[in-house]
Homo-oligomer: A and B are copies of this chain.
Amino acid sequence: MTVVASPSSTVPAFRIANLALAEAGRHQLRLAENEMPGLMALRAEFGESKPLAGARIAGSLHMTVQTAVLIETLVALGAQVRWASCNIFSTQDDAAAAIAVGPTGTPEAPAGVPVFAWKGETLEDYWWCTEQIFDWSTEAAAAGETWTGPNMILDDGGDATMLVHKGREFEQAGAVPDATEADSHEYRVVLDVLRRSLATSTDRWTVIAAAIAGVTEETTTGVHRLYELAGAGSLLFPAINVNDSVTKSKFDNKYGIRHSLPDGLNRATDVLIGGKVVFVAGYGDVGKGAAEALRGQGARVIVSEIDPINALQAAMDGFQVARIESVVEQVDIFVSGTGNFNVIGVDHMLRMKHLAIIANVGHFDNEIDMAALESLPGAVRVEIKPQVDEWHLPSGRSVLVLSEGRLMNLGNATGHPSFVMSNSFTNQVLAQIELYCYPEKYPVGVYVLPKHLDEKVARLHLDALGVELTVLTPAQSAYIGVPIDGPYKVDHYRY
């Protein structure tokens, strides 16, 4: 039995879980576990009581080594799991293989978790994979049960949640609409999936939706979708917004980027950062981490901001704050981390120094106006190495574009380190437990984790860093009106 498969021809044979891949992945897992103390602490705390026993989790989140540790934690807490990646490029095949084979299985007799993910899927592959995490007929048969779907979703970006909502919507409507001119290629693929589904069953997604106790969502984009659904009254089950836990948003954005931005620059270009002039667009948490990292390497950092409060913070932190058009000719490295689009445009590129480096750590690839670059007459692209392109411009100079304008900390480095993801994923597991074990606390709606759980996530990561936490005396606790065990802060505290 293969543990990954695909309707397309894009899955090379070696993608199928094999022993070498699985062993390599298992090594990586073991190292990652050492850097993910939050997840390991949850295994210790809940491994016996198994609060997720009975939970059937459909997971859609980058199938990396760190996610593998997350998956095995969910399993250790009693859950059954099926998994897909939430991005066509982000799967680490060895991690996928290790998870599929399982710690005690073999490729021939896999004893892990069904994983539907490989590096370099087509969009058709991708949505096929996503569909598989909702098909629990094998598990149901084995258990002699009548359900055929999951009862929990763990989502990143909201694709799994969207599929359920759209599937049910079209079943209620009795038809899948035709694609319009404006629909993206990807949305057409989704419509095709659901059209096929509707041809097979008129209530498949309706039944699935009814069984789902809740979803826990990892990112801004997915959270945004959830609030829109809730606002429109269309949300079908409760959701926990993991993204806005302090130990998620203030940690992976700032400390994750601080680590992975210079890492990506180094792997991509080997250019000395010291002494260079670096322009960082945006001084939110991502920009703060970027600026700190680059100053730490001896660069001179210039920041741009649209928000006067953040701009004032940048100035008070000692950075020059300027518009890109005022300084573009002096800059050696451009870093965009705004969440907006067209932050660095072709007009800027034409004024840049020869071999200026352009790096996006913001969000979508349109932070850099790649579309305009690609259609610029006279612009010629030369690949220096994978994910590093030199674009020769009509200015007679050229620029280096990393990861084709996509997130370079993922494309040119390896993304957030395990320790950062341990914070995020410990939030995920706690959120799964909340929704699954305490449904009465969460009517349909979107919630953030209560502060005491956010604080718990932090607490579980202190020992690994040798941190000694101070404990309030009862008198001190009474004096400031804060419980000894927390929560310690008002909700609007800004950290």
A interface secondary structure, majority: mixed
- From A50-58, A108-116, A179-187, A261-269, the one touching the partner chain is A261-269
Q: Which of B251, B297, B417 contacts A296 (CB 8 A)?
A: B297
A494 contacts B271, C-beta separation under 8 Å: no
Does A374 sit within 8 A of B, measured CB to CB?
no
* Assembled-state Cα–Cα distance A307/B298 (Å): 20
Q: Which of B247, B299, B308 contacts A459 (CB 8 A)?
A: B308
B321 contacts A479, C-beta separation under 8 Å: no
B307 contacts A486, C-beta separation under 8 Å: yes
B255 contacts A316, C-beta separation under 8 Å: yes
Does A166 sit within 8 A of B, measured CB to CB?
no
Q: How far is the CB of A279 from chain B (nearest CB, A)?
A: 11
Q: How far is the CB of A489 from chain B (nearest CB, A)?
A: 7
Residues 408-437 of A, flagged 1 when their CB comes within 8 A of B and 0 if not, give 000001100111100000000000000000
| Interface bracket on A | 35 or more
Q: What residue in chain B is nearest A422 (Cβ atoms)? A: B272
Does A472 sit within 8 A of B, measured CB to CB?
yes
Does A234 sit within 8 A of B, measured CB to CB?
no
- From A68-76, A135-143, A200-208, A461-469, the one touching the partner chain is A461-469
A467 contacts B27, C-beta separation under 8 Å: no
Residues 262-295 of A, flagged 1 when their CB comes within 8 A of B and 0 if not, give 1100110111111111000100000000001101
A340 contacts B476, C-beta separation under 8 Å: yes
Q: How far is the CB of A473 from chain B (nearest CB, A)?
A: 7
* Assembled-state Cα–Cα distance A27/B355 (Å): 12
Chain A residues close to B by CB (< 8 Å): 27-28, 31, 34-35, 244, 246-247, 249-251, 255, 258-259, 262-263, 266-267, 269-277, 281, 292-293, 295-301, 304-324, 326, 330, 339-343, 354-355, 382, 384, 390, 400, 413-414, 417-420, 454-456, 458-459, 461-462, 465-473, 475-476, 479-480, 486, 488-489, 491-492, 494-495
A262-B263, A292-B296, A340-B480 known; 20 new pairs, CB 8 Å cut-off, are: A27-B382, A31-B390, A31-B400, A250-B313, A255-B298, A255-B316, A258-B274, A259-B272, A272-B420, A277-B465, A277-B466, A293-B297, A300-B315, A306-B470, A308-B469, A309-B489, A320-B466, A323-B470, A341-B479, A343-B476
Which 6 pairs from chain A and chain B are nearest by CB? A296-B296, A272-B417, A308-B458, A308-B459, A272-B419, A307-B488
14 pairs of residues in contact across A and B, judged by CB atoms under 8 Å: A27-B382, A31-B355, A247-B312, A258-B274, A258-B298, A263-B267, A277-B465, A306-B472, A307-B458, A312-B461, A315-B462, A321-B462, A323-B470, A324-B470
